[in-house]
Homo-oligomer: A and B are copies of this chain.
């Protein structure tokens, strides 16, 4: 029905999935990479940098903000976005832990 049954999973599973979901779009990957690369907090030149319309970029920025990975501050008519270092490191920690899992039987069994 298009609706995820979050209630049958653990908080940890839901959190990992929610984070991964936000990273699950190339535009948001590109936005994050751009924010990491550019020393200064770039603003809406993400629109020209990435080839999507302004409302679309704004929507992606909101999703990144929703999980706290980025934050923005208003500078006149512009808005300055940057990585939320603390949240980013938390996300990294959580995903590292999940990705570090290894099969007990090394060597695939099927």
Contacts and interface: CB of A to CB of B under 8 A. Distances in A.
Contacts of A91: 99
Q: How many copies does the complex hold?
A: 2
A24 interface: yes
Describe A's contact surface by its main secondary structure.
Answer: mixed
A102 B103 CA distance: 30
A110 B71 contact: yes
Given A103-B36, A110-B41, A110-B82, A29 B16 contact: yes
A61 to B, nearest CB: 13
A13 to B, nearest CB: 4
16 contacts: A5-B51, A6-B26, A8-B50, A13-B33, A16-B23, A16-B26, A32-B101, A36-B102, A40-B109, A41-B109, A72-B110, A80-B109, A82-B103, A84-B108, A85-B107, A92-B99
